[in-house]
Amino acid sequence: MKLGIVGLPNVGKSTLFNSMTLGKAEAANYPFCTIDPNVGVVAVPDKRIAPLVELYNSKKAVPAVIEFVDIAGLVKGASKGEGLGNKFLSHIREVDAIVHVVRCFDDTNVVHVDGSVNPIRDIETINFELIFSDLDIIERRIAKTAKMAKNDKSLRRELEILETLKSELEAGKNARTVKFDSEDDMEILNSFQLLTSKPVLYAANVSEEDLADDGDSNEYVKAVREYAKNENSEVFVLSAKIEEEISDLDDEEKKEYLDALGVKESGLEKLISASYKLLGLISYLTAGEPEVRAWTIKKGTKAPQAAGKIHSDFERGFIRAEIVSFDDLIRLGSMAAAKEQGLVRSEGKEYDVKDGDIILFRFNV
């Protein structure tokens, strides 16, 4: 999974990226200090891995990972080449979802590119640039498809969808809010790979004081949540400054620090939880003496396709999946004990893999 971290200059993007990935992105109090996208890979925290490693005396633990791309700040007119312009927009096309960092704190010592703090204005500045970029693509696509549709009736529905999208984008709406009744129509829409069709997580960057109540008393955060609700996006609250302060601490020190602030989860944990929810992702695990590994899949993935995440041969030669739940395995202490209790199931090709399934795939190629 690849997430692109975006936002106006000086909203805390690079600080957040650095703290989450222990990266080296330059964080400075002026616009465009991040020119090329910085990339970092982060392990997904999974409390199920350590108990399995202990149970199997495994030599290695391999968590699922998320790739973060810190993308340069943008200003009004980016779709026309202002600021870093189309370079910024091209980087967004490569990610699965957008993490839009929004400044929700007042601080006279931190320069705002527009001179004042207004999260909805900031969100719309970026959204409109993405819309303008998508409109440019749609208009060119319409011109090309209209010519071809004269001799190919199969393209007429695609042209209708393009016209609908053009109308919605011109009305200031994002492509992700446009829904068609037919799955085939939605497939055509998704094939355009529009910037505004990508799922969005809004990261409300607050001061330390607003972190304990999850931003509930922060008027900026309330406005962001209301905005996100109207477009079916997710919001999570964090303090990039706190994330930076805890980034070098070990797990125990980190927990003590957050407890002292009255905070249950770090910003990274909130981000991962929100992104899994937004993208409909779950993790299953494989376990043995060589290694314990978490595998990320879409919710509703069938057993053979889940096996294919490990190796294409597993999917091609799939016979069955032997499955036990994590809770049952840890409670009973061994796979043998779980089998004696009848808690190890044999599932076939139509089984939907569940979050936390411990799976042994049987296959033959």
Query: Contact, 237 vs 211, CB < 8 A?
Result: yes
Element (H or E) spanning 304, and its range? helix 303-308
If 0-12 CB within 10 Å is exposed, 13-18 middle and 19+ buried, where does residue 346 land?
A: exposed
Res 85: pLDDT: 44
**Which residues are CB-neighbours of 118 under 8 A, at least 6 positions away?**
none
According to DSSP, the residues that pair with 238 across neighbouring strands are 205
Res 199: pLDDT: 92
Res 35: pLDDT: 41
DSSP letter string, 137-153: HHHHHHHHHHHHHTT-G
**Which residues are CB-neighbours of 2 under 8 A, at least 6 positions away?**
66, 67, 68, 69, 94, 95, 96
Cα 118-119-125 angle, rounded to 5 deg: 95
Alpha-carbon span 199 to 197, nearest angstrom: 7
Alpha-carbon span 181 to 179, nearest angstrom: 7
Task: Give 237-272 pLDDT, tens digit per residue.
Answer: 999 889 888 888 888 898 899 999 988 888 888 888
Closest to 122 (Cα-Cα) out of 223, 43, 29: 223
- For CA atoms 203, 209, 214, 218, give the dihedral sign: negative
**Which residues are CB-neighbours of 255 under 8 A, at least 6 positions away?**
none
First to last CA, the chain: 29
Element (H or E) spanning 325, and its range? strand 318-325
Could you give the 3-state DSSP secondary structure of residue 177? helix
Query: Contact, 264 vs 258, CB < 8 A?
Result: yes
Element (H or E) spanning 292, and its range? strand 292-298
Q: Which parts of the chain register pLDDT below 70?
A: 22-37, 72-89, 110-115
Cβ atoms within 10 Å, residue 109: 5
Res 20: pLDDT: 77
Res 225: pLDDT: 96
The residue behind tokens 């089984």 is 351
What number of helices (H) and strands (E) belong to the chain? 14, 12
- Nearest 10 degrees: Cα torsion 103, 104, 106, 110: -10
